[in-house]
Structure 1
Amino acid sequence: MSRWRPDARERLERAALELFAEQGFAATTVPQITERAGLTTRTFFRHYADKREVLFAGEAELPAMARRMIADAPPSADPLTLITGALRAVADTRFEGRRADLLRRREIVRSDPGLGERELRKRAVICEAVTAACRERGFPAMTAALLAETSATLLFVALQAWLDQDGDRPLHEFLDEALTSLRSTLSVTGAVPH
């Protein structure tokens, strides 16, 4: 086995995803992953705390990125411009070009209840980060929470539609559609029962 190669993390991820898809998440072991990747278990644990981390590695990056984008937005940006700009940037930098990998990841996460819970926790962490960033911009607590939850909902609804599509439209188009749908739903008079 190779002692050190610069692509170890990518090889471990590729091997893990293949094995998760072939035999299921629960049935896959770290030694199986490292054997398939041609690396040692020691190398695995240098990159990941456990096999779940292969699926959730980098989950801290998205909340940090969202906070940074909100903080760096022009002070004059209205709330809608703020969240749509951040969502578009996230779509373009974190998701575009990775659809096949994300489809495979989604199927693996859906196959295991514990992974599903971890996915929900990831969404909650993103909301917490956006809420904090909006509060730092001076938004009232309720407004900040609504912006965060709306942002997360728009992202996750658009992401699912993008993954489910038959074509190859970019994610930002699904974000725009989700926002348009939300606006029209909220603006229709009589849409909400009294």
Structure 2
Amino acid sequence: MVRWKPGAKERLQAAALELFATRGFEQTTAAEIAESVGLTERTFFRHFSDKREVLFHGQEQFVQAFLDGIDSAPAGSSPLEIVAAAIHSATAFFPDERRPQSRIRQVLIDRNPALQERESHKMSSLAATLVEALHRRGIGEPAASLAAESGATVFGIAFTQWIRDDETRSMPAIVDEVFGELRTLSAPGSSTPNPR
């Protein structure tokens, strides 16, 4: 009789990332993922609706981290300060030990147009959720949309830097730097050097 082991979902996720990276996303089946950790395909589908969900699992917690940051921003904060608080709250979702898996996940997404579309939709949904949360805090338009879209862009740029092969800085440190760049762009008399 096979002894039950805890953490099936986490074991399936780790196995899926490994198999996707070595065999390719399209070439790997849910049954193979489950079998590689001694589970059944039925167990896989108890945890994930399909193999894409392995890469996108945790979306609700990801969005909630942003919303918690918005809720915790002090009264009187500017829209951009509120969004900065949201992103800083979400950086807890990306500790340094998660970086290797995030790198693998991004490579897989970059190689698959359907996964790219799903990731793009995830980020668009995040921005829309931030807009709604800013409205609830009394921020009107266009300030709410500008702040939310800017925040989503800052997060995307920071995340891309965080997963670079040579990067060692923490996600919060990178977010601070990217927000600093954004503030510099809007400062009177600021100019960005032309890279040419």
CA contact (8 A) 1:64 1:129 kept: no
CA contact (8 A) 2:80 2:151 kept: no
Partner of 1:62: 62
Change (3 A) 1:3 1:128: farther
Give unpaired runs (5+ residues) of structure 1.
none
The alignment's C-alpha RMSD in Å is 1.9
Partner of 1:140: 140
Between 1:37-46 and 1:180-189, the stretch displaced more is 180-189
- Which amino acid in 1 is paired with 2:135? R
Deviations 1:101-151 (A, max 9, x none): 100110011110000000000001111110000000011131111111011
CA contact (8 A) 2:9 2:47 kept: yes
Identity %: 37
CA distance in 2, matches of 1:112, 1:71: 35
Q: How many residues of Structure 1 are paired with residues of Structure 2 in the alignment? A: 191
Superposition map of 1:23-102 within 5 A: 23-91=23-91, 93-97=92-96, 98-102=98-102
CA distance in 2, matches of 1:141, 1:65: 23
Change (3 A) 1:107 1:165: closer
CA distance in 1, matches of 2:115, 2:78: 36
What's the TM-score, normalizing by structure 2?
Answer: 0.90
Deviation at 1:84, TM superposition (A): 1.7
Larger relative contact order (Cα-Cα within 8 Å, sequence gap ≥ 6):
1
What's the TM-score, normalizing by structure 1?
Answer: 0.91
